[in-house]
Amino acid sequence: MTKIKNMEEFAALSGISRPTVSKYFHDPDSVRPTTRARIEEALERFDYRPNIYAINQNRKLTKNIGIVVPYLADPFFAEIARYLEQSCIAAGYRPSLFSSHGEQKLENEILDSLRSLKPAGVLLAPLGRASDQSAIEKFCADVPTVLFDSNLDGMGAAFIGSDNFSFVSQTVEYMTRTGEPPSFFEMRTPANPNANKRRIAYVDVMERLGFEPHIIKIDGTGWAFEEIGRQGARKVLEERSLRTDSVLCSNDRLAIGFLAACYEQGIRVGRKEDCTLRLASNDDHPFAKFTCPSLTTAAHDYDNVAARSVETLFELIESGGKFEKRTETLFPARLVLRESA
């Protein structure tokens, strides 16, 4: 018989969602009778008994879960926050959603507010470069916390995010295979730490393929990426400083601004013969397929990042708020070919 180590393995083997299983163990009457019967049949079949001591300890905690994102107006964070909220509710918890709006002071205030809620756990996507890392480190020591999207080394019990190298390697390899090698378009002072990892990956992949990297850094701070991208692209196009007819943007929101600048200057973007510039990017922003032309991009695995973040937090809560060692889980990107490149 398969030896089941934890609730995650039990959920996978029994074919019942992890949040539903967690909800059952916190209160068997909170799930439908048919679901309860399936879970109890699986408990007998696999001879699995959860760590009742840990679960009873956790019942002393509130049912509050904190979810903190850096900028809720960004549809990427809105989408992932929606999934996290729904998963927490399905497991019988009460999620509270916060946005730090790109401000360190507000991020610190949110963490202080969360302490007063005495949450069972927190899902935190930190600002990254702009974060007060000492404040976050202290918070993670006090409250069971899983970081997602933006990694801060050594903080939180776990980190769940996307493999930035896989984003850039796929877009660069595609663009060099189908045309001129791309220049890399990014903010001089990026707001999100993922941008730095993508620049490093771009240089690595270009050199590995035998091409000279060309990085275009544009001015701008904060989270208004579309406008920053539009202003930066306008300057690049007016100065004719592009070395090739291919551009890879650090993220889709910058690329949307770049497309706006091209439209203003009458530059046709795309793969067709009458186009003079190819443009690709990273993230698969929810609006990327609706731009004109639609954006070729490397897509986040939204569902798995969100699902694994919630599952890891539940495991952390059930373990008494600590893991033996910090874990990191990265999900690869998926290249999405559209009309822009």
Sheet holding 94-99, edge to edge: 94-99, 64-69, 121-124, 145-148, 158-162, 327-331
Q: Which among 15, 25, 296, 69 has a CA at the least distance from the CA of 170?
A: 296
Per-residue model confidence (pLDDT) at position 16: 85
pLDDT at 199: 96
**Three-class SS of residue 90?**
helix
Q: What is the pLDDT of residue 53?
A: 44
Q: How many CB atoms lie within 10 A of CB 61?
A: 14
Q: Quick one: pLDDT at residue 191?
A: 77
| Inter-CA distances, 257 with 71, 197, 212, 230, 263, Å | 18, 21, 25, 4, 10
- Class level of CATH domain 7-50: mainly alpha
Same fold, 62-162+302-333 and 164-299: yes
**60 three-state secondary structure:** coil
In this prediction, residue 51 carries a pLDDT of 60
- Homologous superfamily (CATH) for 62-162+302-333: Response regulator (3.40.50.2300)
Position 198 scores a pLDDT of: 95
What are the structural domain ranges in the chain? 7-50, 62-162+302-333, 164-299
- C-alpha to C-alpha distance for 35 and 41, rounded to whole angstroms: 10
CB-based contacts of 45: which residues, under 8 Å, 6+ apart? none
CA distance 63 to 91: 10
pLDDT attached to residue 4: 76
Exposed/middle/buried for residue 134 (C-beta within 10 Å: 0-12, 13-18, 19+):
exposed
Q: Of 78, 102, 76, nearest to 224 (Cα)?
A: 102
**CATH superfamily, domain at 164-299:** Response regulator (3.40.50.2300)
Per-residue pLDDT tens digits of the chain, which is 341 residues long = 566 777 778 888 888 887 788 778 767 777 888 888 888 888 888 777 666 545 545 555 678 999 999 999 888 899 899 989 998 888 888 999 999 999 999 999 999 999 888 899 999 999 988 899 999 999 999 999 999 999 998 899 999 999 999 999 999 999 999 999 999 999 998 877 789 999 999 999 999 999 999 999 999 988 899 999 999 999 999 999 899 999 999 999 999 999 999 999 999 999 999 999 999 999 999 899 999 999 999 999 988 998 899 999 999 988 888 899 999 999 999 999 999 99
Q: What is the pLDDT of residues 112-134, one digit of tens each?
A: 999 888 899 999 999 988 899 99
